[in-house]
Amino acid sequence: MDVIQVNQGRARADRAPASCHVLLNSDGGRGPVAEELALRVRRRHLNTSVQDHCLSACTYVFLAGNKREMAEDADLGFHQPTAPGLATREQHQLIEQMVEYYRSVGVREWFIDRIIATPPEDMRYPTRLELADAGVITQ
């Protein structure tokens, strides 16, 4: 099985057209880059997995997976989205976009509420049970 590795926002997806699985390891990054990678994952119906960690914007790519799995000792970290220099209204729009995306991939409302309550400067690391109950991990 071919595996596409994504580390710090760089993917080899275009060079691995037969791949069916994306292995993520990222501290996060810019939302638009993560959204573009997530769109590619969704279009190709790829599975996603985390062996070490997937934080912040990386979770967009993870949640795009057809099947989503993580190693027992891996970490998924969530918080509100943000970008430098945003006005309050723009920040609210960014949060609403995140909420709509999370809903579109089947994440439960109670989990989304917890992420919205986590400020951008903090990180929420849900338990494996929370992630399974929330529909974040599927395997």
Please report the pLDDT score of residue 18 as a whole number: 57
Please report the pLDDT score of residue 88 as a whole number: 85
**Region at 9 (left for phi over 0; alpha for psi -120 to 50; beta for the rest):** left
Please report the pLDDT score of residue 87 as a whole number: 86
Please report the pLDDT score of residue 3 as a whole number: 45
Please report the pLDDT score of residue 131 as a whole number: 97
Please report the pLDDT score of residue 2 as a whole number: 42
CATH superfamily entry for domain 3-133: 2-enoyl-CoA Hydratase; Chain A, domain 1 (3.90.226.10)
Please report the pLDDT score of residue 16 as a whole number: 53
Please report the pLDDT score of residue 29 as a whole number: 82
36, 61 contact by CB (below 8 A): no
CB atoms within 10 A of CB 88: 7
Please report the pLDDT score of residue 32 as a whole number: 81
Residue 57, class by beta-carbon neighbours within 10 Å (0-12 exposed, 13-18 middle, 19+ buried)? buried
| Helix or strand run (H / E) with residue 6 | strand 3-7
pTM of this prediction? Answer: 0.85
Low-confidence ranges of the chain (pLDDT < 70): 1-19
